[in-house]
Amino acid sequence: MPQTVTIEIRRYRPEEEAEPTWQRYEVPFWREWMVLDALNYIKDHVDGTLSFRWSCRMGVCGSCGMMVNGNPALTCATYLETLVPGPVQVEPLRGFPVIRDLVCDLTDFITKLQRVQPWIVRETEGTPAQGEYRQTPDELAAYRPYAMCINCLLCYAACPIYELEPGFLGPAVIALAQRYNLDSRDQGREARMDVLSEHDGIWACTLVGECSTVCPKHVDPAGAIQRYKLDAAVAWVKALVLPRSGR
């Protein structure tokens, strides 16, 4: 194994340069190090001006997602050992505006996420005396896979549609909408379907499937999108052939 490894970082400092540039750093190589450890070494010992996001270092918060050798990845869960002899290239997530260095502007995702109401919607609320809304293990299992999304946005960086069609709601937004649609306590499915059935919703997806491939939590947003398409098609047929209520 090498004594050091070269890290090439795509940097962007708006106060100094109009376009991003590449900068190389030599860092010690340790078999237990992740890419995030190398970035923190650079930040702490070589160049304190380097900017990037991270928090938990345990693959839970999703904030350290970046492009590593051209692939979307959590840097806290990517071993340097798998990338030697290098060089290891680190870039900000593809498809998002860059604020500085490896830090992206995620406003577009947050805005779209709010449109699908990613919370439990109730048309009627029970009284405290009636107690909590209980669920069976099967009801929990129905939505739990989609609840594992950590908003790392690797799926957006892997999605070719989002980069070409910025209006596309995107894989994570649709998967998180599915999480609540499948929750037995929720009553907001129809309102979400109105948003998801728009031109920039589920129909913009061409089923490349890369979103599910890169997901570190195995959420399968591509599967959620195809399930939505089936539900929307069935609802359209029912509306076409069945009499409307009140007629």
CATH number of 107-241, picked from 1.10.1060.10, 3.40.50.970, 3.40.50.10130, 1.10.260.40: 1.10.1060.10
| pLDDT > 70 in the chain, percent | 97
Asked if 214 and 71 count as a contact pair (C-beta separation under 8 A), the reply is yes
Give the confidence band of 246 by pLDDT, cuts at 50, 70, 90. Answer: very low
In angstroms, rounded to a whole number, what is the distance separating the alpha carbons of residues 21 and 101?
A: 9
Asked if 161 and 208 count as a contact pair (C-beta separation under 8 A), the reply is yes
Q: Confirm or reject CATH 3.30.365.10 for domain 4-104, answering yes or no.
A: no
What is the tens place of the pLDDT at every residue in 161-220? Answer: 998 988 999 999 999 999 999 999 999 998 998 899 888 888 888 888 999 999 999 999
Distance separating the N- and C-terminal Cα atoms of the chain? 76
Exposed e or buried b per residue across 27-57, where buried means at least 16 C-beta atoms within 10 angstroms of its C-beta: bebeeebbbbbbbbbbeeeeeeebebbbeeb
Domain ranges of the chain: 4-104, 107-241
Instruction: Quote the tokens at residue 151.
Output: 């908003």
Instruction: Quote the tokens at residue 82.
Output: 């798998």
pLDDT at 243 over 80: no
Cross-strand partners of 52: none
State the maximum Cα–Cα separation within the chain, in Å, rounded to a whole number: 78
- What number of residues does the chain have? 247
3-state secondary structure 148-192: CCCCCCHHHHHCHHHHHCCCCCCHHHHHHHHHHHCCCCCCCHHHH
Which one is predicted more confidently, 54 or 229?
54
